Amino acid sequence: MKNGARGFMRSLVAVAVLLAAVLLAACGGGDSGIEGGSDTGNVSTAAAEGKATGNLNISNWPFYIDNNTVPDFEKATGLSVKYTEDVNDNTEFFGKVQPLLAKGESGGRDIMVVTDWMAKKMHELGYLQNFD
């Protein structure tokens, strides 16, 4: 396997692990210790409808992935990615997006990479959408 492909596969595995961690955290029960959250959030599930097309807007932490991941992903999927490193702190980022999320808007973001406790808070508030 060439270095580029190996790096892409490692990044793909890292993304899969991250998504699994977020989904597991979101499904956790019990007392979260998070103020303002509840287990009553209304979270819908998006169903897959054929091959993905179009644009993907991602908010992530600075220096979280290598420079080849996005171009490799775009080449492999045919999607166009706008990758923004604008998550510097969970609470700060949440403060920026929460007013939009409360109105059912995402601020143009398709994926937001936050830590597990913040993902759980967003899930409990009904701000996230499950996907198949």
Q: For tokens 């091959």, what's the residue?
A: 51
The pLDDT tens digits for 73-97 are 999 999 999 999 999 999 999 999 9
Q: What is the pLDDT of residue 116?
A: 94
The pLDDT tens digits for 44-84 are 777 767 788 889 999 999 999 999 999 999 999 999 999 99
Q: What is the pLDDT of residue 41?
A: 57
pTM (global) more than 0.75: no
- Report the alpha-carbon distance of residue 30 to residue 39 in Å, rounded: 9
